[in-house]
Chains A and B, each alone.
Chain A
């Protein structure tokens, strides 16, 4: 079983739609959680951290369920520019804060 699992997609949605991605992680001792965005042939960039209480940044809402060990990302009012791969990322709490990445979920927003 992979340490961080995501549905690879692609999710094809029309502009303006609401779309949600889920991610599960296997290490219950994991300490911090993130969503990164990766555009085609580009490096990953931090989209947002994920907090236990849930957090929102504009059209993006992230939630964490520690009991079930899953993380979600909700995108409202999708824009064409949201098309990218969304990486679920977990810090399992190792000494070096090395991150463990999911394989990513590809989103394609169409006109």
Chain B
């Protein structure tokens, strides 16, 4: 079946611009996670959605980062006033509720110039 999809696959933006990254989870998966992976680094948790519950935003690095999940499916991660240190691969993962196994999308490679 279809896996997690993300768009765009690559995004180059100028410092100070806003960007939106999109994630389509696997159909039926109620849990959705955003992570980011900087060059040569491990994955860093950003935010977690579970069904209609309030999201866990504890991993967001600053108030320039926000995310929404509409209708319990598609999620958008927004980064306002991008900075060069925001350059990374942003990975989305989904899972069934309570399932510890996560399925990752291919990621969006963000480059801030």
Interface of A toward B, CB cutoff 8 Å: 4, 31-32, 34, 42-46, 49, 87, 91, 95-104
Identity of the chain A residue whose Cβ is nearest the Cβ of B3 in the assembled complex: A43
- In contact, A98 and B101 (Cβ under 8 angstroms): no
- In contact, A49 and B101 (Cβ under 8 angstroms): yes
**B91, B102, B103, B107 — most chain A CB neighbours (10 Å):** B102
- In contact, A98 and B48 (Cβ under 8 angstroms): yes
Smallest distance from the beta carbon of A33 to chain B beta carbons, Å?
9
Interface string of B30-51 (1 = CB under 8 A from A): 0101010000011101001010
Q: Identify which of B12-20, B63-71, B74-82, B92-100 touches chain A.
A: B92-100
Identity of the chain B residue whose Cβ is nearest the Cβ of A33 in the assembled complex: B100
Interface of B toward A, CB cutoff 8 Å: 31, 33, 35, 41-43, 45, 48, 50, 56, 59, 91, 95, 98-107
Q: How far, in angstroms, from A102 to B44 measured CA to CA in the complex?
A: 10
Identity of the chain A residue whose Cβ is nearest the Cβ of B99 in the assembled complex: A97
- In contact, A43 and B31 (Cβ under 8 angstroms): no
| From B50, B100, B103, B107, contact of A32 by CB (8 A) | B100
Identity of the chain A residue whose Cβ is nearest the Cβ of B48 in the assembled complex: A96
Q: Which 10 A-B pairs have the closest CB atoms?
A: A43-B104, A103-B42, A101-B43, A96-B48, A101-B42, A32-B100, A91-B100, A98-B45, A97-B100, A43-B106
Given known contacts A96-B31, A98-B45, is B105 in contact with A43 (CB within 8 Å)?
yes
Smallest distance from the beta carbon of B112 to chain A beta carbons, Å?
18
- In contact, B98 and A97 (Cβ under 8 angstroms): yes
- Note all chain B residues with C-beta closer than 8 A to A98: 33, 45, 48, 56, 59
- In contact, B104 and A99 (Cβ under 8 angstroms): no
Q: How far, in angstroms, from A100 to B42 measured CA to CA in the complex?
A: 9
- In contact, A45 and B31 (Cβ under 8 angstroms): no
